[in-house]
Structure 1
Amino acid sequence: MTPRRSFLTLAAGALVLPTTAALAQEDPRLAERAIGKPDAPVTVLEFFSLTCGHCAAFSRETFPRVKQELVDTGRIRLVYRDFPLDQLALAVAGLARSVPADRYSAFVSTLFATQDRWAFNRNADVKAELWKLAAVAGMDRETFEKAIVDAPLQRAILEQRAAGQREFNVSSTPTFVFGSRVVPGNIGFDRFAALVAETR
C-alpha cells in the first residue's frame, strides 16, 4: 500500500536527480498539450493543478460546455499549462504527460473526475488508484512505474510552471489567460464565453 504521504516522499526524493535543458526540447512529453483547431481565432491558456479542487470543479461543471460550444465549434483553442501546487500534483502531471498526446485531455478530465479517490482519500493506496486510471488510458505498467518518479520530467514541468509564473504572474489555480488578460479562479461558462467574445 502506498498512502499519500509515502507517495509524496517517494516523488520528492526523485527530484534530486539531475536534468538538462535539452530535455525540454527533446522529450515529446513536454510538447504543448492543447485541444481545438490550431487556427482558432482565440487561444485560451489554462493553468491548473491536478490536486486543485477548484480546477476539478471547473473540469466537471464548465469544461464540457467549453469543449462542446467553443472548442469543437472552432471558436477557441485551449492550451493546457501545468501549475502543480504540491508534490503529488507534480508527479501526476508527469504521469498525464506520459499518456499518448491524443488521450491527454480525456485523461486529465478523468483525473479530475476521480480526484476524491486518489488525491484526498487519506486511506487510499494512491499509487494503486493512479495505476488503475493509467491502465484504462492504455499505459503499460513499465511506463507507469517510470513516469511517476521521472525526476527530469518533473523538473522540466516545474521549469515550465516558473515560466508561466514569470510571464503571466500566475499565483493560483485555475488561472486562465484570454489573449493578454489574466483571469484567476473557477469561472462559469457564461463568464468564460464572455471573455472569449471580448478577446481579439
Structure 2
Amino acid sequence: MDRRSLLGMVGGLATAGSLGIAFPAAAAETKTDSPYSIRSLGNPNAPVTVYEYFSLNCPHCAEFATHALPKVIESYVKPGKVYYVFKDFPLNEDALWAAQIARALPAKAYYPFISELFRTQDEWAYAPGLKTPKDYQNALFRYAALAGMDRTTFDAAIANKKLRAFVLNELNDAEKTYKVNSTPTFIINGRKREGAVSFDTFSSWLKAA
C-alpha cells in the first residue's frame, strides 16, 4: 500500500511537533505498559534486530502478519536469533485509531490484538456499510472489547492527542530516517527491505543481515 494513501494525514492531523510534545528515545525503550513504550517480541540482545513499519488496515501487512510472521517468530524470535520491533505507519485515520487502541492495551496484549485485527481486517476496515468515523470506531471497539477494553477507555484512547501525536511521530521519523513510503517496510540491522514476502524470502533477508 502506497504512502500516497495517507490522504493528506500528516498535513491535516496534529503531529508531535505541532502539539509541542517531545518523545525522548529512552522513553520508547522503557519496558512498561505505557502506550509510549516499545512494542516488541524477543530478546533485545539478539544478533538481528527487525523494525517493521506497518499499517493495521494494509492488506499487504495483513498477508505478511498472518502467513509469514508466525513462522518468523517460531524460527527466529523464540530461539533468540531476532529481536522484532513493531513500528506504526498508519495509512489513514481508521488505521491511526487502530494503532492508538492497540497501544492503549497492556503491552502483553499488543501482539495478540494486532494479530487479530490483521486476521479480521475485512470485518473492521473494509466491511460494507462502514461509512462514518463512528462506524469504523464501533467496528474497532468490538475487537477492543474482546481484548478486555471498556468503552470509556476506548474512547479516551482515540481522543488522546498525545498518543495520536506519538503514533504520527513514528511515521514522520520513518520517512525522514529510512525513507519509508509503503507498508510493510522492514529495517533489518539497518538495511531497508519492502513487501509482503514469503517466510522463505524473509528468512533469506535475516540470514543476510
Task: With the length of structure 1 as denominator, give the TM-score of the two structures.
Answer: 0.86
Match of 2:91 among 85, 88, 102: 85
Note the C-alpha offset of 1:23.
6.1
Deviates more, 1:108-117 or 1:123-132: 123-132
Residue in structure 1 matched with residue 166 of structure 2 by the alignment: 156
Residue in structure 2 matched with residue 35 of structure 1 by the alignment: 41
Note the C-alpha offset of 1:128.
2.4
Unaligned runs of 5+ in 2: 1-10
Deviates more, 1:186-195 or 1:20-29: 20-29
Residue in structure 1 matched with residue 194 of structure 2 by the alignment: 184
Can you list the C-alpha shifts for 1:30-87, whole angstroms capped at 9, x where unaligned?
2111001121111001000011000001111111101111111111011000001111
Aligned identity (percent) is: 39
Distance in 2 between the 1:184 and 1:62 partners?
A: 14
Note the C-alpha offset of 1:13.
8.9
The code of the aligned residue for 1:65 comes to K
Distance in 1 between the 2:129 and 2:161 partners?
A: 26
User: Are 2:71 and 1:65 aligned?
Assistant: yes
Instruction: Count matched residues.
Output: 189
Partner-residue secondary structure (3-state), 2:159: coil
Instruction: Note closer, same or farther for the CA distance 1:14–1:86 as it changes in structure 2 (3 Å cut).
Output: closer
Q: Is the CA contact (8 Å cut-off) linking 1:52 and 1:173 kept in structure 2? A: yes
Instruction: Note closer, same or farther for the CA distance 1:86–1:14 as it changes in structure 2 (3 Å cut).
Output: closer
Distance in 2 between the 1:51 and 1:74 partners?
A: 29
Distance in 2 between the 1:13 and 1:187 partners?
A: 32
Residue in structure 2 matched with residue 20 of structure 1 by the alignment: 20
Runs of 4+ residues deviating >3 angstroms: 12-16, 22-27
Residue in structure 1 matched with residue 124 of structure 2 by the alignment: 118
Task: With the length of structure 2 as denominator, give the TM-score of the two structures.
Answer: 0.83
Match of 1:139 among 149, 156, 170: 149
Instruction: Note closer, same or farther for the CA distance 1:100–1:77 as it changes in structure 2 (3 Å cut).
Output: same
Note the C-alpha offset of 1:158.
0.7
Instruction: Note closer, same or farther for the CA distance 1:96–1:42 as it changes in structure 2 (3 Å cut).
Output: same
Note the C-alpha offset of 1:122.
3.0
Match of 1:127 among 127, 137, 142: 137
Instruction: Note closer, same or farther for the CA distance 1:180–1:68 as it changes in structure 2 (3 Å cut).
Output: same
